[in-house]
């Protein structure tokens, strides 16, 4: 430019075209990276879909004549098929009853809820199960036959229970980690909709659970028919069932 061999406009044009070419080359590089990730993800999805089914449902969901019930009869659950994460789980939930699962953090509440949802949504007589997974902590591994299951990920529980009950025609609703007072009001508002609810909450005992305002509200309006307490023990978990009092 100083010698007059090239004008300022030519330099600016060169820099502009060079930037355009460089951007295109970087885009091509990103495409190769995305293709590599896509191939790896597709292979992983194929492995998941080809995983043999290791959880089956029998006819234990069929209740007495004129109604249905949910029953877990000495159920064990393991993530790796070697060591049980949950052992000897037994409870019965009659039509219209609601179950609350209580325990400390890491006690196995979410694992039990996932097992309940999978069992109810599969088998010869699957139920339409809606899981309100507000925090995205309940991924489901679908193997074998399709699950009759909808998961509302990221929905506020107050909104999720309304959608599940009034829009999605749920036969069973499942919520993880309830406790907020506004959530309790939303759950109480759908109590008479006829849809059974299975929920979990943090507490070391029923007494501690009922000290929380929202859960005390649900207890007083008889939202739950039973409370299942889960405790982590060496080598597994233990649990106890407390009926509503």
CA distances from 16 to 6, 26, 27, 117 (A): 16, 16, 17, 58
Retrieve residue 95's tokens. Answer: 């039509």
Three-state DSSP class for residue 215 = helix
| Through-space distance between the first and last CA atoms of the chain, rounded to whole angstroms | 91
How far apart are alpha carbons 157 and 135 in whole angstroms?
10
pLDDT tens digits, 178-221: 877 888 887 777 776 777 888 888 777 888 888 888 888 888 88
Please spell the DSSP secondary structure of 119-161, one letter per residue.
HHTSSSS---EEEEETTS-------SSPP-EEEEET--HHHHH
pLDDT-based confidence at 1, cuts 50/70/90? low
Q: Where does the chain show beta strands of DSSP type E?
A: 69-77, 86-94, 99-103, 129-133, 149-153, 172-175, 197-202, 226-233, 236-243
How far apart are alpha carbons 158 and 148 in whole angstroms?
23
DSSP state of 239: E
Report the predicted TM-score, pTM, of the whole model to 2 decimal places.
0.54
- Mean pLDDT of the residues in the chain: 76
State the Cα angle at 87 between 72 and 126, rounded to 5°.
30
How far apart are alpha carbons 153 and 162 in whole angstroms?
14
The confidence score (pLDDT) of residue 63 equals 45
pLDDT-based confidence at 54, cuts 50/70/90? low
pLDDT-based confidence at 67, cuts 50/70/90? low
Which H helix or E strand runs over 35? helix 8-49
């Amino acid at each position: 430019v100083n010698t007059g061999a090239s004008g300022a406009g030519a330099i600016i044009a060169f820099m502009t075209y060079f930037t355009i070419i460089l951007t295109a080359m970087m885009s091509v590089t990103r495409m190769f990276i995305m293709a590599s990730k896509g191939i790896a993800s597709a292979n992983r999805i194929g492995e998941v879909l080809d995983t043999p089914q290791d959880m089956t449902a029998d006819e234990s969901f069929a209740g007495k004549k004129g109604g249905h019930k949910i029953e877990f009869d000495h159920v064990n659950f393991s993530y790796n098929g070697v060591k049980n994460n949950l052992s000897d789980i037994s409870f019965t939930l009659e039509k219209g009853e609601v179950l609350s699962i209580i325990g400390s953090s890491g006690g196995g509440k979410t694992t039990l809820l996932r097992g309940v949802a999978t069992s109810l949504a599969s088998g010869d007589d699957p139920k339409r199960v809606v899981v309100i997974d507000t925090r995205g902590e309940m991924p489901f591994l679908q193997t074998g036959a399709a699950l009759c299951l909808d998961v509302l990920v990221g929905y506020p529980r107050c909104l999720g229970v309304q959608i599940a009950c009034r829009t999605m025609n749920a036969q069973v609703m499942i919520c993880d980690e309830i406790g907020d007072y506004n959530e309790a009001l939303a759950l109480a508002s759908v109590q008479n909709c006829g849809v059974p609810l299975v929920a979990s909450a943090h507490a070391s005992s029923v007494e501690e659970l009922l000290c929380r305002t929202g859960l005390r509200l649900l207890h007083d309006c008889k939202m739950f028919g039973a409370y299942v307490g889960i405790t982590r023990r060496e080598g597994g978990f233990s649990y106890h069932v407390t009926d509503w009092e």
